[in-house]
Amino acid sequence: MPPILFWFLATLSVVSALGVVLQRNPVHCLLALVLTLLAIAVLFIGQGAVVVGFLQAIVYAGAIMVLFLFVIWLLNLPVVTGSTGRLAAKLLGAVGVAALLAELEVFWVPSHLQVKAAQHAAGYGAIDALSQTLFSEYLIAFEVTSVLLLVAVVGAVALARRTTDAEVQSQAGNSSRTEKAA
């Protein structure tokens, strides 16, 4: 990956990530998050992890973010104008951010300042290598994860199908009416 492309994408992902946090309109935040995910997907592809990059674009940017969009619409979130929260909380937050940045500066930057290209084996990140590993070495973990997701889906459906209070009342009303009729 040419360095100029890397720096462009890195800047884009950081700026759009800031946009997620700093913007007031939830839909604008979501668009910024999509941009972040896409920039990171292209970074993955540029580093040789082609399948992971495309899956990031398909699954996260293409499907999960659309779900987020639905949630934002259904919750009908208001656009926040002006700042909220207490002054003390903001001050504490600022101190925390400063501490984190200082920690990054002291502990991380000096030793990792030199950017080195990673050495990959042939076929690294290609779909056959990835699926060979996934479906042989990590097969049990993979299957267990799929069962876990299935449980989550079944649970969500069960929760959504629970009869609401209104339905219970209308059923009670119907039965009392039939009793009277009897």
Partner 1 sequence: MTIELVVGAIEAILMVLIGLHLSIFLLYFERKGSALIQDRVGANRANITGIGQKLGMPNLGIINTLVADPVKLFTKEDFVPEGADHFIHGLAPFLALFPVLITFAVIPFGDTITIAGHTFNLQAAGLNAAALYLLATIGMGVYGVALGGWASNNRWALLGGIRATAQMISYEIAMGLALVAVIMTYGTLDLQAMVRSQGGVWFGFLPRWGILVQPLAFILFLTAGVAESKRIPFDLPEGESELILGYMVEYSGGKQAAFMFTDFAEQALTAMLLVTFFLGGWQIPWLYRDGFHFPGGHFLAIAPLAVSILGVIAFLIKVVILCAFLGLVRWSLPRFRYDQLMRLGWKGLVPLGLANVLVTAFIIVATGGAH
Residues forming contacts to partner 1 in the complex (CB under 8 A) are 25, 27-28, 31, 34, 41, 50-51, 54-55, 57-58, 61-63, 66, 69-70, 73, 126-127
CB of 64 to partner 1, least distance (A): 11
Residue among 39 and 41 whose Cβ is closer to partner 1: 41
Under DSSP, the state recorded for 114 is: S
Max Cα distance, the chain (Å): 86
- DSSP characters over 127-178: HHHHHHIIIIITHHHHHHHHHHHHHHHHHHHHHHTSPPHHHHHHHHHHHHHH
Beta carbons within 8 Å of 33's beta carbon, 6+ residues apart: 16, 17, 20, 65, 68
CB of 60 to partner 1, least distance (A): 10
CB of 70 to partner 1, least distance (A): 7
CB of 84 to partner 1, least distance (A): 22
The C-alpha atoms of residue 83 and residue 68 are separated, in whole angstroms, by 24
Residue among 46 and 62 whose Cβ is closer to partner 1: 62
Residue among 12 and 55 whose Cβ is closer to partner 1: 55
